[in-house]
């Protein structure tokens, strides 16, 4: 069968695509990403009825929505429930007991899953808080991402059975139910789903969240690895101003803040930082 093909993009075209991604998301993409770019974009071009990168770039220059689609296609959205479980144990055993003492007056805890993808991290935070704090707390987890597709998946809260493998059995039974219409899928119980607010927001754009938003915990894991040094610095400043004093920042286990240059953050271990 004849399969339509898109000719390879030129080096200049790859550079222009990298530039759009880097400017929009703060990434560090170079022409070394050529194969990833082609892999992810060729089919998209054909879907759009385009057979070359020259025309695609012309479309990107004039259509802001197409730039968003490009960003969605070139980012990695892999995530799972209770990813890096040691951090969740640390949250439950050490940080929440001390935070709950500080907050016993208001009994209000605000969290932010920044770069949430399809919501597994946000739900894992909410479950950990509920399990540790018990009832009677005003808990909200803000989940933000640039991918509207993944935010929609998160707000629907329906996941295939294999996604639940990293959820301990007891929590699976408590917070998930088999979906009646979708075989082998489970939905998050509404009481938990209402703890999460999903919102489209670019971490580079501080005003994509209302000014008043302040939180006690930020999880921004497996996002920094893609970012340039300048973007990381800008986002750390943003996090610093959004965190309440004494609040905590969780990065991915391979990500860190160079603490000598950042005296405002205290490293607690396991890529967890406390705001001074």
Ligand X SMILES: C[S@@+](CC[C@H](N)C(=O)[O-])C[C@H]1O[C@@H](n2cnc3c(N)ncnc32)[C@H](O)[C@@H]1O
Residues 6+ apart with CB under 8 A from 162: none
Q: One symbol per residue from 101 to 120: x for binding ligand X (CB under 6 A), - otherwise; what is it?
A: --------------xxx---
What distances in angstroms separate CA 73 from CA 42, 146, 224, 227, 244, one per listed residue? 11, 11, 18, 16, 34
40 is catalytic: yes
Q: Is the dihedral of CA 144, 146, 152, 156 positive or negative?
A: negative
Does residue number 222 form part of the binding site for ligand X (CB under 6 A)? Answer: yes
Least CB distance to ligand X at residue 10 (A):
26
Residues 6+ apart with CB under 8 A from 231: 25, 26, 27, 204
145 is catalytic: yes
Give, as ranges, the residues between 199 and 218 that touch ligand X (CB under 6 A). Answer: 202-204
Closer residue to ligand X, CB minimum distance, 99 or 251 = 251
Segment holding 129, helix H or strand E: helix 120-133
The one catalytic residue among 110, 130, 145, 232: 145
Backbone angles phi, psi at 190, to 5 degrees: -55, -35
Distance CA 240, CA 54 (A): 41
Closer residue to ligand X, CB minimum distance, 83 or 103 = 83
Least CB distance to ligand X at residue 201 (A):
6
Site size toward ligand X, by CB under 6 A: 23
**By CB under 6 A, which span of 15-23, 56-64, 181-189, 197-205 interacts with ligand X?**
197-205
Does residue number 124 form part of the binding site for ligand X (CB under 6 A)? Answer: no
Least CB distance to ligand X at residue 265 (A):
19
Backbone angles phi, psi at 221, to 5 degrees: -115, 140
Does residue number 271 form part of the binding site for ligand X (CB under 6 A)? Answer: no
Does residue number 223 form part of the binding site for ligand X (CB under 6 A)? Answer: yes
Dig out the tokens for 169 from the structure.
């059995």
Block residue for tokens 């909410």: 126
Q: Residue from 147, 215, 232, 250 that binds ligand X (CB under 6 A)?
A: 147
Chain residues that interact with ligand X, rule: CB under 6 A:
25-26, 75-79, 83, 115-117, 121, 145-147, 150, 202-204, 221-223, 252
- Residues noted as catalytic: 40, 145
């Amino acid at each position: 069968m004849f399969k339509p093909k898109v000719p390879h993009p030129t080096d200049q075209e790859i550079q222009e695509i990298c530039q759009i991604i880097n400017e929009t998301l703060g990434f560090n993409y170079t022409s070394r990403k050529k194969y990833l770019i082609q892999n992810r974009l060729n089919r998209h071009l054909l879907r759009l009825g385009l057979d070359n990168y020259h025309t695609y770039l012309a479309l990107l220059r004039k259509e802001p929505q197409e730039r968003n689609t490009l960003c969605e296609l070139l980012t990695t959205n892999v995530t799972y429930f209770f990813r890096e479980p040691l951090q969740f144990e640390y949250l439950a055993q050490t940080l929440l007991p001390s935070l709950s003492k500080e907050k016993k007056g208001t009994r209000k805890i605000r969290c932010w899953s920044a770069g949430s993808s399809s919501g597994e991290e946000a739900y894992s935070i909410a479950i950990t808080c509920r399990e540790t704090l018990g009832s009677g707390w005003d808990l909200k987890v803000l989940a933000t991402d640039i991918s509207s597709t993944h935010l929609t998946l998160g707000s629907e809260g329906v996941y295939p059975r294999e996604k639940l493998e990293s959820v301990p059995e007891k929590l699976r039974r408590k917070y998930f139910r088999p979906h009646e219409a979708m075989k082998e899928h489970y939905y998050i119980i509404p009481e938990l789903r209402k703890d999460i607010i999903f919102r489209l927001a670019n971490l580079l754009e501080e005003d994509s969240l209302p000014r008043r938003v302040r939180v006690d915990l930020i999880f921004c894991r497996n996002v920094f690895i893609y970012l340039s040094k300048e973007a990381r610095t800008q986002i750390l400043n943003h996090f610093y101003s959004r965190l309440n004093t004494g609040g905590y920042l969780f990065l991915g286990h391979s990500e860190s803040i160079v603490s000598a240059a950042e005296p405002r953050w205290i490293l607690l271990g396991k890529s967890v930082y406390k705001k001074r």
